[in-house]
Amino acid sequence: QAGTPSGLATAEGERARLRAWAMADVSKKPAAEAAGEPGAAQPAAKRPRKAVPDNFFSKEFLTQHVKDIVAFYEPRVVDESGGFFQSFYADGTKFNPGFRHIVPSTRMVINFMLAGKLLGRKELVDIGKHGLDYLERVHYVPDGERYAFTVRDHKPEDLTEQSYGYSFVLAAHAAAL
């Protein structure tokens, strides 16, 4: 694609690859397996995927998806004693309520900050600020100037420093701008 920035070409290619993956019919066996060739690759899933809507990448679909995600988490995620509950069963029931991991802590900040801005809902931004406050009051350990990778019952548990966790700390602060 002459004259196209490489990042754009890569993004378009990735979007096409994801669309093809999402539309793949995994209920059918790959040709090699169907032909009975030994060692043929197995399908990624045993059951058929739901059809992907035509508007999967549209603003309308994605905005509704954000609303659906917020509707699940908003009524149950905030721990009034600090931070976010992070462990839920599919029906919304909490488990392991005292455990906090830096990545979900920061992802919730990012999600609520950006959802609040997208949907024009200040209360979602406030939920994000609640999480950012917890990140800086509890995950952050001034002695050593680092962030706890995990927290249990509002006390640092695992002080392992990983760039993956720190990248989410940066992303959470960026989302708060």
How many other CB atoms are there within 10 angstroms of residue 158's CB atom? Answer: 14
Q: Compute the radius of gyration of the chain from its Cα atoms.
A: 21
Is the pLDDT score of 157 beyond 90?
Answer: yes
Q: Where are the domains of the chain?
A: 1-51, 53-175
pLDDT at 52: 81
CA dihedral for 64, 68, 81, 95, sign (positive or negative) = negative
Looking from the CA of 82 toward its CB, the CA atoms found within 13 Å total 15
Degrees, nearest 5: CA angle 6-163-177: 70
- What pTM was estimated for this model as a whole? 0.72
18-49, pLDDT tens digit by residue? 666 666 654 454 454 455 554 444 555 555 66
**Average pLDDT value for the chain:** 86
What's the mean pLDDT in 63-89?
98
- Structure confidence at residue 107 (pLDDT): 98
